[in-house]
Structure 1
């Protein structure tokens, strides 16, 4: 794949800036040290909080959360951060959540779910379910779920598990990993993409489980479910230069085949993790605006597709 033609100068600068924060021996460092490197890198892109936003830390049954609230919230977004289930937390996606809250007028609940390898699957999934149940009981509807990468996986897994019992207005999945077929499509075409490779995916998959799964598990890989009916309206937004890109398409197709509402956007020339580039790349900025618009649409009970 010729990324020199697919990726523009702004995104290449973002990739180089990201890479500059990773020492050559990062992959050989302890998990705790890798988390520190990741958080430091994310903080380098921190854009601050919008004016007038109330931000505070709290907990749900021992699960740390960060609340972002505009003056008069019009609903709630529960947000799950990315990081391969290994890195990331409340600080890594701090300004992303703040800007989503500010631009949508919705309360955002960022969830600091447990991470691997200390807490293998299903720990993160269980924390995600707990947070969504809490939000559904404490705050008025509408309730939208959203997440990027591993967080997109958790978002979809929760929607599959809670359908029929919790009213969820919609879900927005940002370059999610949903358990697609790693032998074809974008997994092969973009196996060596900048920012995320197949080798990275295999590492994260292996470290996620205490023992390798021996049967389909939709709580870990939503695309392994056999029933895609009765899911909330779904928006999948992926990056073209990403091995995970086809997961969004496959998931959309499964929901549409089951009679549901789903749409997929594959953002041209973007790479995994581009949310951090939204203030330095026109393409990433436009995609972030799309994310905000889709969350707003779902919270208003509308469907424009």
Structure 2
């Protein structure tokens, strides 16, 4: 067995240990209901109060898709932020990323909308994608520029709906911010091999989530790296984690966007593991990475 790649930053190691403690040794064999319960408990343990004066309001889009709107006390931007949570298309909710969304809205001075899209395996491709697309269209119809943001599986959905908006000629997307996104890499080379047993997410985990999601291989919006043409996309911020099998998805997408003439800001958090957003109060690297994300979103919201 090869040595497991591990960062050396004490804060992120402590974060990883705390996350691991939420799952028993045989967690991989648990059913989806139990997996969600463990994930919800983990997320709750890393919760944080919203910025002072933040107003939250829950509602529905298209009469069925739950969303939550975050309005900062000083909402100085006309731009709307649209956040799509991660969780392998299997776990996650409005609650799991509530604090992250509130802090992003506050940092950007802009109203943010998050979506509770349908999850697999109960709802396979394109259910989650269609839910996110419906919310994006609704936001664009409101007449405000939109910045689309997503982490992990949410980064996949964010990149996919932005591609579809380009394909269908929809205007009004001011930017996209993708955080350790899974974008359709081949699973057998690069970081998928180098970080096959990375802490927090393994290549086997990625393969499992793809299998459960059941997107067909020719669905380009489900695998944005497979798109032949990336021209015409909005300004993009991409941040990856070094100790993550998805690392090279972020690298490759950033490189291809640059070659297509897109304005790109790329960061690789050298000591970070997958899901480091949740470590922003424990790890200096995560704190700095989150600050960079907030700064990029703030700039996109105020072009």
Q: Identify the TM-score tier after normalising by the shorter chain.
A: over 0.9
Given that 1:142 and 1:300 are in contact with CA atoms closer than 8 Å, whether structure 2 keeps it comes out as no
**Structure-to-structure mapping, 1:18-167, within 5 angstroms:** 18-61=19-62, 62-73=64-75, 74=77, 75-138=79-142, 140-163=143-166, 164-167=169-172
- Return closer, same or farther for 1:205/1:2 CA change in 2, 3 Å cut-off: closer
Say whether residues 1:194 and 2:195 are aligned partners: no
Q: Name whichever of 48-57 and 146-155 sits farther off.
A: 48-57
Once the two structures are superposed, residues 24-65 of structure 1 have per-residue CA deviations (whole angstroms, 9 ceiling, x without a partner) of 332222212211110111110001211100012111111001
5+ residue gaps, structure 2, are none
5+ residue gaps, structure 1, are none
- Cα distance in 2 for residues equivalent to 1:167 and 1:3: 41
Aligned position for 1:218 = 220
Aligned position for 2:188 = 183
- Cα distance in 2 for residues equivalent to 1:36 and 1:59: 24
Task: Give the deviation of 1:165 after TM superposition.
Answer: 1.1
Question: SS where residue 279 of structure 1 aligns?
Answer: coil
Aligned position for 2:283 = 281
Q: Which has the higher contact order (CA 8 A, sep 6+)?
A: 2
- Cα distance in 1 for residues equivalent to 2:4 and 2:36: 31
Aligned position for 1:12 = 13
Given that 1:78 and 1:132 are in contact with CA atoms closer than 8 Å, whether structure 2 keeps it comes out as yes
Q: May I ask how many residue pairs the two structures share in their alignment?
A: 296
Given that 1:170 and 1:233 are in contact with CA atoms closer than 8 Å, whether structure 2 keeps it comes out as yes
Say whether residues 1:203 and 2:202 are aligned partners: no
Given that 1:143 and 1:169 are in contact with CA atoms closer than 8 Å, whether structure 2 keeps it comes out as yes
Aligned position for 1:253 = 255
- Return closer, same or farther for 1:175/1:116 CA change in 2, 3 Å cut-off: same
Once the two structures are superposed, residues 231-250 of structure 1 have per-residue CA deviations (whole angstroms, 9 ceiling, x without a partner) of 01111100010010111111
Given that 2:4 and 2:198 are in contact with CA atoms closer than 8 Å, whether structure 1 keeps it comes out as no
TM-score, scaled relative to structure 2: 0.94
Of 169, 175, 186 in structure 2, the residue corresponding to residue 170 of structure 1 is: 175
Aligned-pair RMSD on alpha carbons? 1.3
Given that 2:187 and 2:207 are in contact with CA atoms closer than 8 Å, whether structure 1 keeps it comes out as no
